[in-house]
A and B are shown apart, each in its own frame.
Chain A
Amino acid sequence: MSAGIVDIATAKPGRTIGNDHFAPIGLTDEWIRRRSGIATRSWLPDETPLAEVAAEACAPVVTRMADPSSIGALVVVSTSVRQRVPGIAQKVAQLVGLGPSVLAFDMNAACCGFVYGLVTGLSLCDAGQARSVLVCSVEAMSRLVDRTDRQTACIFADGSAAVLLQDRAEFEGSRHTAGCDGSQEGLMRETDAGGIHLDGMQVYDRAVRRMSESAQYLFDHGPAPTVLVGHQANGRILEQVGSFNAHLGVPFVNRIENSGNTSSASIPLAFAGELDAGSLPAAGRLGAVAYGAGEAWGGVAVDYRLPAAPTP
């Protein structure tokens, strides 16, 4: 018995922001597409509580379960939740009707958060600490960026996605690699004045290297993934990582054009998007790789078998 992904759902309740939105700060559609590959992104209304958005992603998964009381843990991953006390995991648990015995907690590893949350959830399942674990990423990066900053305003976006983890006899064991380097904290950081400072060239270089190395690790250790989903950071980064990993011979997902960079939510959103589009089979092995502020990086390979027609 090993843990894997048995369901997935998403929530993108915001309004669609086209590239023309950034004309007042001097950015053209052509420039944004060339620089990032992004055409549209979703931004949440400022007043929408992130716990409600996360609950919207989790609810379909819980509803589809025969026995929701088997959920023993809920990991809510976010780098953009503004309220620190209390965290939002407990509120999300309440909103989706989970019982009081659930281990519910927040996690933040910036854009690498989903990989870290997935590794944590899989560990809880594999250790027998929970029969089912929900891992939900929820982000409102539009609230974190300086919307007049030409470098970052057009890149970041909002959304949420949740996966359900359970042990199954048919699943091969998951594998992961992870790392961090606090000496690189200055590459991407929230500024005192508000907004995000980004050292674009260094981040680009390091993100490509780290995600490519993580992908290679997953192929060198354990059963090979059937699909790779990288953190949807920037279209140029995704193209480069895809190019560096072409020899691995599996699809490398790039759905940034109409999603933008949703930080920790980007991997499950992209994965769900490919499934909904019918581009991936309902069962396989996901290789998820990410790089983010901290700096933190990692990858996880995990089997998945989803309901025939998972709904967003």
Chain B
Amino acid sequence: MSDLESRIADTMLAKLRERDPSLGPDDLARPVADLDLDSLDLVELHQQLERELQVKGDLKETAGFAFLEDFSTYFVKLASRG
């Protein structure tokens, strides 16, 4: 895992643990629908990743992601563009 992916994973895990402190890195692979996240949590995650990586994403794209891994892929691509 690259440093960038690691920062993204840390941010996502912190978001998950706001709802359930017992969750761990393995839970990042679960479908969003199986996690205790509501639609506003996903907006918050989007904004937190933007701030962490200093990039501007498109909520219309990320709002439909079915897996947290999709966030990682999306933001890695954004951040890599510089």
Residues of A within 8 A of B (CB): 34-35, 200-202, 204-205, 208, 236, 240, 244
Contacts and interface: CB of A to CB of B under 8 A. Distances in A.
A205 B47 contact: yes
B interface secondary structure, majority: helix
Nearest to B59: A205
A35 B40 CA distance: 8
A35 B38 contact: yes
Interface centre among A34, A35, A200, A201 (most CB of B within 10 A): A201
Interface centre among B39, B43, B46, B51 (most CB of A within 10 A): B43
Interface string B28-70: 0000000000111011101100010000000110010000000
A240 B40 CA distance: 11
A201 B38 contact: no
A202 B44 CA distance: 11
10 contacts: A34-B38, A35-B40, A200-B39, A201-B40, A201-B42, A201-B59, A202-B59, A202-B60, A236-B40, A236-B44
Contacts of A204: 40, 43
A205 B63 CA distance: 11
A300 to B, nearest CB: 25
Contacts of A34: 38
A185 to B, nearest CB: 17
Contacts of A208: 43, 47
A201 B47 contact: no
A204 B43 CA distance: 7
B24 to A, nearest CB: 23
Across the A-B interface, give the 7 residue pairs with the lowest CB-CB distance, nearest first.
A204-B43, A205-B59, A236-B40, A205-B43, A201-B43, A201-B39, A201-B63
